[in-house]
Each structure stands twice: as structure tokens, then as C-alpha cells.
Amino acid sequence: MLILKSLNYSYSDLEPYIDSDTMNLHHSKHLRAYVDKANMLLAESNADFNGNILDTYNQILNSNSAQKQALLNQLGQVYNHDFYFEGLIPADSYQAPNGKLKTLIESSFGDIKNLEQELQEEAMKIFGSGWQWLVLNKESGCLELCSSNNALFPDYNSYTHLLVIDVWEHAYYLKYQNRRAEYLSGIMNIINWKIVDDRLKQ
Ligand code: MN
């Protein structure tokens, strides 16, 4: 069974950039619904969750399950949300990138400010519901930005996932309404660069 992973911080800890009500709704209602529905569909499909979402995703992708697309949607949403929530940290614990990550950011984007700016610009372009990613291109060894729609994520055979920002409206609409740019600039204060560094080393 998939579980609803608990957060490494409380719902109010990302204030003022992401408000407590949004975090509560996002985690305890939206993510919980994806987890519950994924478990229900896995049971209906007689499919096993083997403890790793991406492995399970791949198994389903290569199966003939009647519920295939619905199941991929739920699993993708659980994976993306866990990745998003783990990539955030309370502002008072924020640490700018350093070491190898900093060097890589500088060689790929010039500097951290430029990366943050490009990240926000790309996230502004997403039409409909989607996700803004920072990834490592495994072939070139460079960092890249890319987006995915709905419940999709970048191909993990070609790209190491480093960071994702949820750009579905439910991630920001309560506080920011249609002001996506304000959500995006706010979230730059609560990026967990330490975990990005860990993900880079995996
Ligand atoms: Mn979401």
C-alpha cells in the first residue's frame, strides 16, 4: 500500500510564502485523495505496490491493466507531490546552494539568481495544470529546466529529478488567487537546496 507521507515541517511552517490553509488542504485532502485512489485502483487491478513508486509506475505502464491511465495519473500525482513537499523547507532553515551544486548551477545558468528567474519564467508559461522541474540531463551533465502537464514527470532514464514546483492552481489559489508569479517568487525563499544536493548525488 502507498502511504500518505508525513511532512518534514508543520502546515504553518512555510508561512508567509505558502499559507497554512493551503498546505493543510494540499496535503491532507488533495494528496490523500491521490494516495487513496491509487491504492483502490491497485487493488482493483490486482497490481502490487512494491515499495517504489517509479518501479510500480513502470510496471503499470507496461501492463494491460484496464485502469492503466487512471492508475498512472494517481501514481504520478503521489510521486510528484512527495517530491514537491520534500523539496520545500521553512524559510528560517533556508540555505543557498553550495559546493558542487552551486558550481553546476553557475555553469548551467550563470548564477542562482538567474536560475531562480528562469525557473519562474518557465513556470509562468505552463498552460493548464502542470509541474515545473529542475533536472540533471544525464547525457550532457548539465542542469536543465522543463515542465510536465497534469500528472506527468520527466523521463527518469534521461533526467535525474532534482526539484519540482507544483503549478496546479490548488497549490496557490487560496492565498494568491490568479497571481501565480507571486507564488513563484515567494517559493524561492523556501526551496530545500540541501535535498536538491542529495538528489544530485544519488
Ligand atoms: Mn498539488
**pLDDT tens-digit series, residues 11-24:** 999 999 999 999 99
The predicted pLDDT at position 139 comes to 97
pLDDT, tens only, 35-44: 999 999 999 9
- Please state, as a whole number, how many other Cβ atoms lie within 10 Å of the Cβ of residue 53: 18
Confidence at residue 66, expressed as pLDDT on a 0 to 100 scale: 85
How far is ligand 1, taken at its centre, from the CA of residue 107, in Å?
A: 31
Give the per-residue pLDDT at 48.
Answer: 80
Q: How far is the CA of 178 from the centre of ligand 1 (A)?
A: 16
Give 104-168 as a 3 state SS string.
Answer: HHHHHHCCHHHHHHHHHHHHHCCCCCEEEEEEEECCCCCEEEEEEECCCCCCCCCEEEEEEEECC
* CA of residue 201 to ligand 1 center, whole Å: 26
The answer to whether the predicted template modeling score (pTM) of the entire model surpasses 0.95 is: yes
Ligand 1 centroid vs 129 CA: distance in angstroms? 9
C-alpha of residue 172 to centroid of ligand 1, in Å: 9
Residue 65, pLDDT score? 85
Q: Please give the order of strands across the beta sheet that includes 159-166.
A: 143-149, 130-137, 159-166
Arithmetic mean of pLDDT over the chain: 96
